Amino acid sequence: MLALAEDPRAPVLALAERIGLSRNTVQARLARLDRLGALAPFERRVDPVVLGYPLAAFVMVRVVQRELTAVADALDRVPEVLEVHGISSDEDLLVHLVAADADDLYRIAGALLAIPGVERTSTSLVMRSLVGFRTAPLLRRLAQGAVHPGRLRSPR
């Protein structure tokens, strides 16, 4: 998995040569990981800045609990929303979004507040991204035997 995380576009044969296993063994392991849901769909990450969205923010959202699913569905329809996480906090959701500028962020924040079931929001601007999404360090740690996570299980 580490070799795949470090070079997600590598062909199976290149991965096999890199880790010293046969092509068929690597192919079988990848198929198993895919069946378990361990491999997320491959998507090249496009930097929102190059699309005209240089402003990033995290929005904490408090939701009427019985409306949580409907709110999540509504957030999924907002193009500027990149991710939505259910969290354990005084708030219910953490929304990662992008905007073209402050006026655009104001418009998006208003749209979020207009979603039925949203009680309130609190917005924090991203000043600078210091560590991007990554899994390679975690996989390296597991490969070194530093922790024993148990068996692979399907993501939720």
Record the pTM: 0.76
3-state secondary structure of 138: helix
> Average pLDDT for residues 89-109, to the nearest whole number?
98
Rounded alpha-carbon distances, angstroms, from residue 146 to 38, 78, 111 = 20, 40, 45
Q: In this structure, are 38 and 56 located in the same domain?
A: no
Indicate the pLDDT class of residue 147, thresholds 50, 70 and 90. Answer: low
**Are 54 and 120 contained in the same domain?**
yes
Q: What distance in Å separates the CA atoms of residue 100 and residue 48, rounded to the nearest whole number?
A: 9
For the domain that residue 61 is a member of, what is the CATH number?
3.30.70.920
Residue 98 maps to a domain: yes
- Region of poorest pLDDT, from 18-27, 55-64, 68-77: 18-27
Check whether 155 has a pLDDT greater than 60: no
- Name the residue range of residue 36's domain: 2-43
